[in-house]
């Protein structure tokens, strides 16, 4: 009877030893795995020595690692500055799309070499951080933001130099966003993020611009993100409306026309300014539907005012680059004219210098179609791009709107006066109607009158008005009616 029991005991003991061994092994394994995980979490992986396949330049990871190193050194030694310049080629995709990747690659290689040579004069640290994005770290440059800005200018200048590739004469431009440590950000991630925000801002200013990061930019970009979802619903919820700012002929004191300005009343945040919501509309791809609504509504409201006794009133409508480049602006305007009955010669389209002078076959064709329809083209924010005035004659333009940055203090600022005076004289010689934007004071007005500017727009005469206030403004200003006699 004892024998089976002994065998059973032996079996139990063997099994226990086996289980104990397995558990011990598992525990040792677990401890090893945790130890490995802990060790790996404490040890930063080395930055891969990644180089861009085409240009051979080091990439974003190396740049971040170098920035981190430099910031550590800086924070320990002194508060000397480190600057990050984010260089983004404008519209580079267009080259690939229109001329093919071979030309695009050759251009990218050429520009990267030019930039590397230039950057090399100031810094050892030059990177390619995206397909058409580069970065320069300036280190120990003497704490002078003007130096950083000069480097940015040189970069813009180098990129703008025309180059001949495969028989094509290519003109490029770039935006440079600048972020400085410690004023604009206190760590490497912040420097890159804010340099990219500054780059976005430079892009908005126009081709070939630079911009130094400010906190205001981050607030705007956070606001844009916040409102994006609501913007998608704004058109169908009827939250958009237009205001109109009068343009006054100073010789006759008559209202020549009005500029339609888009407004958005957000259901909970109230009115949001166009410089925040219009870029967001463009980013979301809504500019075509919203732009179409603006064209139609402006034509409808102004044709009603014409019928109510202001037959000569013109309306100027802003058309963004995205809207224009879609290629259907002539049919959008023609449809609005047809539906509202407004005459073509009472419609002006405001396009920025860069759009008018892009000089592609398609854009010249579209401008000519609009001119043939009888619609007038105004060059908006004139002077902020860098086209020469004699280039204007190549395009069917009727109106020049001098940007308000030149009008501000034109009575006390000699260089603004010299620029404005040249623009007015040359504009008139070329047969354009010249409009000064942003006139705020009597003194500015007097200088402009003396220099021969015909049309004035600005707070001095009137802020943008709701359609109801405009109706009242026009009835008080009987001069528009008088001009019809
Ligand atoms: P913009 O085309 O240069 O329009 C003139 C801007 O100057 C308006 O700003 C106007 O309110 C402002 N302004 C007029 N007079 C004065 C003045 O005496 N002093 C100052 N400081 N400012 C003055 P707003 O309405 O904020 O529009 C800003 C920009 O938004 C416009 O600049 C235009 O680029 C864009 N925008 C407005 N409406 C539309 C639209 O329907 N479509 C598109 N694509 N862009 C629009
Ligand atoms: Ca405008
Ligand atoms: Ca303008």
Best of 240, 257, 259, 278 to mutate for ligand 1, by most ligand atoms within 8 A of CB?
A: 278
Of all ligands present, the nearest one to the C-alpha of 378 is 2
Q: Which ligand 1 atom is the nearest neighbour of the CA of 294?
A: 41
Give percent of the chain above pLDDT 70: 90
- Inter-axis angle of helices 92-99 and 101-120, to 10 degrees? 150
Of all ligands present, the nearest one to the C-alpha of 348 is 2
Best of 259, 274, 319, 462 to mutate for ligand 1, by most ligand atoms within 8 A of CB?
A: 274
Which protein residue's CA is at the shortest distance from atom 20 of ligand 1? Answer: 438
For 240, other C-beta atoms within 10 Å of its C-beta total 18
Q: Which of 20-29, 182-191, 289-298, 364-373 has the lowest mean pLDDT?
A: 20-29
Ligand 2 geometric centre to CA of 267 (Å): 26
Which protein residue's CA is at the shortest distance from atom 23 of ligand 1? Answer: 438
Q: Report, as an integer, the average pLDDT of 444-452.
A: 96
Average pLDDT, rounded, for the chain:
88
Distance spanning both ends of the chain, measured CA to CA: 133
For 414, other C-beta atoms within 10 Å of its C-beta total 9
Ligand 2 geometric centre to CA of 380 (Å): 5
Ligand 1 geometric centre to CA of 193 (Å): 28
Q: Report, as an integer, the average pLDDT of 237-255.
A: 95
16 pLDDT more than 80 = no
Q: Report, as an integer, the average pLDDT of 214-220.
A: 87
pLDDT grade for 74, boundaries at 50, 70 and 90: confident
CA-to-CA dists, residue 336 to 44, 279, 340, 341, angstroms:
61, 24, 6, 8
Compute the distance between CA of residue 304 and CA of residue 289 in angstroms, rounded to an integer.
Answer: 23
Say how many CA atoms lie within 13 Å of 246 toward its Cβ.
Answer: 25
Ligand 1 geometric centre to CA of 359 (Å): 25
Q: What is the CA radius of gyration of the chain?
A: 31
Of all ligands present, the nearest one to the C-alpha of 247 is 1
Q: What is the pLDDT of residue 50?
A: 64
Q: Report, as an integer, the average pLDDT of 412-429.
A: 94
Q: Which residue pairs, CB below 8 angstroms and at least 24 apart, start in 74-82?
A: 74/181, 79/182, 80/140, 80/143, 81/141, 81/143, 81/180, 81/181, 81/182, 81/183, 82/137, 82/138, 82/139, 82/180, 82/181, 82/191
443 pLDDT more than 80 = yes
Tell me the pLDDT tens digit for each residue of 296-349.
999 999 999 999 999 999 999 999 988 998 889 999 999 999 999 999 999 999
Which protein residue's CA is at the shortest distance from atom 33 of ligand 1? Answer: 318
Three-state DSSP class for residue 165: strand
29 pLDDT more than 70 = no
241 bridge partner residues: 263
Q: Which ligand 1 atom is the nearest neighbour of the CA of 464?
A: 11
Which protein residue's CA is at the shortest distance from atom 21 of ligand 1? Answer: 438
- 330: phi then psi, degrees, rounded to nearest 5: -60, -40
Q: Report, as an integer, the average pLDDT of 404-408.
A: 93
- 459: phi then psi, degrees, rounded to nearest 5: -60, -20
Q: Are strands 314-318 and 82-89 parallel, antiparallel or unpaired?
A: unpaired
Supply the DSSP string of 128-149, one letter for each residue.
Answer: EEETTEEEEEEESS-S-HHHHH
Q: Report, as an integer, the average pLDDT of 345-364.
A: 87
3 pLDDT more than 70 = no
- The residue among 123, 185, 192 whose CA lies nearest residue 152 is 123
Three-state DSSP class for residue 181: strand
Q: Report, as an integer, the average pLDDT of 140-144.
A: 76
List the Cα angle 413/415/421 in 5-degree steps.
Answer: 100
99 pLDDT more than 80 = yes
- Dihedral of alpha carbons 176, 180, 184, 190, sign: positive
Say how many CA atoms lie within 13 Å of 136 toward its Cβ.
Answer: 26
Ligand 1 geometric centre to CA of 303 (Å): 22
Q: Report, as an integer, the average pLDDT of 43-61.
A: 72
Of all ligands present, the nearest one to the C-alpha of 464 is 1
Q: Report, as an integer, the average pLDDT of 245-261.
A: 94
Tell me the pLDDT tens digit for each residue of 38-47.
555 444 444 5
Which protein residue's CA is at the shortest distance from atom 13 of ligand 1? Answer: 438
Instruction: Give residues (CB < 6 A) around ligand 1.
Output: 245, 261-262, 273-275, 278, 294, 318-320, 350, 380-381, 404, 438-440, 458-459, 464
- The residue among 468, 438, 420 whose CA lies nearest residue 247 is 438
Which protein residue's CA is at the shortest distance from atom 16 of ligand 1? Answer: 438
Q: Which ligand 1 atom is the nearest neighbour of the CA of 242?
A: 41
Q: Are strands 163-165 and 168-170 parallel, antiparallel or unpaired?
A: antiparallel
CA-to-CA dists, residue 186 to 140, 180, 198, 201, 341, angstroms:
16, 9, 16, 20, 58
Which protein residue's CA is at the shortest distance from atom 24 of ligand 1? Answer: 274
């Amino acid at each position: 009877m004892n024998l089976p029991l002994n065998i059973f005991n032996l079996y139990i003991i063997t099994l226990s030893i086996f289980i104990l061994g397995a558990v011990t092994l598992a525990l040792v394994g677990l401890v090893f795995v945790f130890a490995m995980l802990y060790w790996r979490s404490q040890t930063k992986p080395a930055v891969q020595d990644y180089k861009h396949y085409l240009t051979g330049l080091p990439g974003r990871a190396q740049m971040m690692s170098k920035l981190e190193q430099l910031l550590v050194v800086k924070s320990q030694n002194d508060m000397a500055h480190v600057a990050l310049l984010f260089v983004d080629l404008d519209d580079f995709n267009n080259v690939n799309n229109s001329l093919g990747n071979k030309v695009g690659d050759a251009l990218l290689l050429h520009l990267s070499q030019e930039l590397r040579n230039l950057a090399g004069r100031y810094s050892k640290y030059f990177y390619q951080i995206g397909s058409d994005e580069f970065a320069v770290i300036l280190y120990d440059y003497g704490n002078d933001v003007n130096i950083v800005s000069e480097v940015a200018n040189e970069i813009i200048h180098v990129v703008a130099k025309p180059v001949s590739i495969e028989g094509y004469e290519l003109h490029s431009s770039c935006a440079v966003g600048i972020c400085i440590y410690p004023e604009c950000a206190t760590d490497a991630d912040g420097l890159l993020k804010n340099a990219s925000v500054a780059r976005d801002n430079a892009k908005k200013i126009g081709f070939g611009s630079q911009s130094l990061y400010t906190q205001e930019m981050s607030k705007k970009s956070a606001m844009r993100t916040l409102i994006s979802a609501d913007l998608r619903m704004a058109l169908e919820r009827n939250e958009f409306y237009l205001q109109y700012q009068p343009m006054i002929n100073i010789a006759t004191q008559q209202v020549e026309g009005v500029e339609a300005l888009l407004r958005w009343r957000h259901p909970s945040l109230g009115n949001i300014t166009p410089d925040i919501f219009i870029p967001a509309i463009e980013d979301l791809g809504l500019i075509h539907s919203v732009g179409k609504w603006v064209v139609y509504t402006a034509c409808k409201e102004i044709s009603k005012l014409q019928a109510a006794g202001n037959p000569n009133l013109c309306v100027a409508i802003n058309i963004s680059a995205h809207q224009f480049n879609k290629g259907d602006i002539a049919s959008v305007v023609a449809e609005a004219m047809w539906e509202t009955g407004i005459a073509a010669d009472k419609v002006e389209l405001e396009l920025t210098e860069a759009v008018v002078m892009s000089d592609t076959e398609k854009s010249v064709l579209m401008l000519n179609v609009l001119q043939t329809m009888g619609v007038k083209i105004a060059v908006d924010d004139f002077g902020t791009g860098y086209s020469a005035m004699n280039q204007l004659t190549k395009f069917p333009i009727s109106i020049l709107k001098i940007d308000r940055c030149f009008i501000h203090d034109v009575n006390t600022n000699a260089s603004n006066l010299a620029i404005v005076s040249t623009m007015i004289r040359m504009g008139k010689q070329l047969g354009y109607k010249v409009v000064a934007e942003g006139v705020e004071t009597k003194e500015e007005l007097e200088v402009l009158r003396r220099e021969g500017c015909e049309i004035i727009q600005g707070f001095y005469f009137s802020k943008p008005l709701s359609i109801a206030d405009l109706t009242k403004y026009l009835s008080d200003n009987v001069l528009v009616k008088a001009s019809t006699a």
